[in-house]
A and B are shown apart, each in its own frame.
Chain A
């Protein structure tokens, strides 16, 4: 089983703060990296799918970068709002293991107003 690690495990920030968290994955045989947002009592929703080294993607106040050579991706949230409170999951796809997606345990974000 490939190891996908996310840090920090949880994060509490004030409304308006900008924040970022990390997803680390094995750098060899990289295929794709997914980011999902998971609100309590709902199902995970896709944010980004990233495939190329150096990729940067943006959706509103949320953006992500990808470094496949060193095996990490950053997710940034600019000006956090209470509605950003959720668990953020990354998932890694490795060529050696076909189409098996491996998820990290997630980063729990709580934004206080």
Chain B
């Protein structure tokens, strides 16, 4: 089954404790992206990647890191999480570019930073 898999689905942690949210897709998609969703603000893009070893900042990259060492994986790293990073996070992928291909979303990861 074609899918985007995120882990964990839920995480409660404390300020300053490094964490990684994994994202994996099995569709051989070139484009992958991370979004955060906050009430009233819609989805905001954190980082995106056009292909292996190519990553670019979205609109809200501060406090996050990503890497794209393999085509299928695009982990999101919070080196020193803070409470303002409490949010619902989505990973997404698309074949080709998003100019003509839709995004396929994972199930989401709800992060709470205390």
Interface residues of A (CB under 8 A from B): 1, 31-32, 34, 36, 42-46, 48-49, 51, 89, 91, 93, 98-106
Contact = CB atoms under 8 A, between A and B. Distances in A.
A60 to B, nearest CB: 16
DSSP majority for the A interface? strand
Interface stretch (B17-25, B43-51, B63-71, B79-87): B43-51
Given A43-B106, A99-B48, A100-B56, 4 more contacts: A48-B102, A100-B48, A100-B59, A101-B48
Contacts of A49: 98, 100-102
Contact of A99 (B31, B35, B40, B41): B31
Nearest to A43: B105
Which of B41, B98, B106 is packed against the most chain A CB atoms within 10 Å?
B98
A99 B100 contact: no
Given A101-B33, A101-B103, A44 B43 contact: yes
